[in-house]
Amino acid sequence: MKIALSFICGAVICSLIIFGVKPPSLPAIADTAENGTVSDNGKGFLADLLPDFDKIYRDALTSPFIEAESKIYDEDIASYYHGLMAKTGLTDPNSD
């Protein structure tokens, strides 16, 4: 009986805590409706601090293939490999 009562009380207290905690509804940037300008907080400068993950991924993907191409000494195989890389878009790591 004590265990059941403790469980019910614990469930009620936990549900009150969960539903009682509301996410902050305050705006992240100041209201600038009166002067029409936006502060630096609204420009998303923190996103500019993140590295370019797309470029890092593209370089990591293409650099082994470009390095392997420089190690091919047979002309026929090198031309085939270069054509294959051109078809797949692996020749230029900076292309989008």
Q: What is the pLDDT of residues 78-92, one digit of tens each?
A: 999 989 988 888 776
Q: State the pTM of this model.
A: 0.43
d(CA 55, CA 59): 6
Q: What is the pLDDT of residue 80?
A: 93
Contacts of 93 (CB under 8 A, 6+ apart): 58, 59, 61, 62, 63, 66
Q: Rounded to a whole number, what is the distance in angstroms from the first to the last CA of the chain? A: 67
Q: What is the pLDDT of residues 35-80, one digit of tens each?
A: 555 555 555 666 677 788 888 888 888 888 888 888 999 999 999 9
Q: What is the pLDDT of residue 90?
A: 76
Instruction: Kindly list the distances between the CA atom of residue 78 and the CA atoms of 24, 68, 74, in Å, as whole numbers in the listed order.
Output: 60, 10, 6
